[in-house]
Amino acid sequence: AREIHLLRYPDGVPTPDDFSIVDVPVLKPLDGEVLVENTWMSVDPYMRGRMSPRKSYVPPFSLNAALEGHAIGRVISSRDPRFTEGDLVTSMTGWRSHALLERDYLHSLPDAPDIPAQAFLGPLGMPGMTAWIGLNKIAQCQPGETVFVSAAAGAVGSVVCQLAKAKGCRVIGSTGDPEKADWLKNTIGIDAVINYRDTSDLSAALADAAPNGVDVYYENVGGAHLEAALDNININGRIAVCGMISVYNNREKATGPRNLFRLTAQRARMEGFIVTDHWATYPEFVREGIELVRSGALTWRETVYEGLEKAPDAFIGLFDGKNTGKMLVKLAE
């Protein structure tokens, strides 16, 4: 078996030298244990926060130990009567080819054989749930509102766009890539796309795309995106602060938005959230999500790196926009 270890906490943008691949023995399950061969693993921007000695809402990753994250795998040997060989399961033991687990750390995949398993790491997994909670519960988005989504072609953003469209909202998305812009406009079907790399004035570009202002800003990026959203936020607007990927590799604290007073002027609200606090409602989300997929209202793309040794590159690629939709690593058939 093989696993990826973190050798040191990255300084700034992570590099492949921060990681190593390590051979380890495959252990045999004892009573109550299940041996899983991972088939897919997820890399996510939040993992950058754990690659730092600073304590955040999740503890730092340990150095010289296997990293962790969402994964899907197949049971290859079980000493728990609830799991049998061949079962597909999800766990938090990504970044390794095999994992020995007790049942509390294993979950069966929802029963939806018509949907590819890896979708449960993307639009029907943690990123999709994040989109759903942020848009509905935190931003309390209403039909007919204007919604601005940053990192709109990513795993979370692309689901936010589609949930908002399904609600009958006007949706504006931003991305840094023309092909992703094309996908958002022509396949996802949002109303306007801003390529943030093509504009020196994001605030003016957003004002053009949203002449009646923005009711909901779904924040994934931070920096100039947040300032542009604040400039254009409507009275009683809501900003759901899901993430700020543009600051994750900063060595110094980022400067705050210069126009935060707009919250007061516009009686607007800005609220951060962490999806795991809302996990009790995952079954409700997944029921709704599967229906949306089956009705054609929720589609997705994925960018796949093949082989465990590519996991660090896949992770680093998130900060370079290498993914359209969910960034995944395929470990086995």
Interface ranges with ligand NDP (CB under 6 A)? 44-46, 127, 130, 151, 153-157, 175-177, 180, 220-221, 242-246, 273-275, 318-319, 321, 323, 327
Complete DSSP assignment for 202-232:
HHHHHHHH-TT-EEEEEESS-THHHHHHHHH
Closest to 319 (Cα-Cα) out of 237, 244, 233: 244
CB atoms inside a 10 Å sphere around CB 281? 13
3-state SS string over 140-201?
CCCCCCEEEECCCCEHHHHHHHHHHHHCCCEEEEEECCHHHHHHHHHHHCCCEEEEHHHCCC
Rounded to the nearest whole angstrom, what is the least distance from the CB of residue 21 to ligand NDP in the complex? 23
User: How far is it, in rounded angstroms, from Cα 25 to Cα 10?
Assistant: 28
213 versus 321: smaller Cβ distance to ligand NDP: 321
Q: Which is nearer to ligand NDP, 177 or 309 (CB)?
A: 177
- State in angstroms the smallest separation of the CB of 26 from ligand NDP: 30
Q: What is the DSSP letter of 285?
A: H
Nearer to ligand NDP, 127 or 257 (CB): 127
Q: Smallest distance, Å, CB 243 to ligand NDP?
A: 2
Give the nearest distance from C-beta 176 to ligand NDP in angstroms. Answer: 3
CB of 30 to ligand NDP, least distance (A): 34
Contact assessment for residue 293 and residue 115, using Cβ atoms and an 8 Å cutoff: yes
Token look-up 């942020």 returns 134
Rounded to a whole number of angstroms, the minimum distance from the CB of residue 144 to ligand NDP is 25
- Cβ-based neighbours of 157, under 8 Å, separated by 6 or more: 131, 149, 150, 151, 173, 218, 220
Question: Which residue type does 291 have?
Answer: E
Residue with smaller CB distance to ligand NDP, 29 or 222: 222
C-beta closer to ligand NDP: residue 29 or 123: 123
Region at 12 (left for phi over 0; alpha for psi -120 to 50; beta for the rest): left
* Smallest separation, CB 264 to ligand NDP (Å): 25
Task: Give 168 or 189: the residue with its C-beta nearer to ligand NDP.
Answer: 189
Nearer to ligand NDP, 42 or 93 (CB): 42
Whole-angstrom Cα distance, residue 139 to residue 219?
A: 10
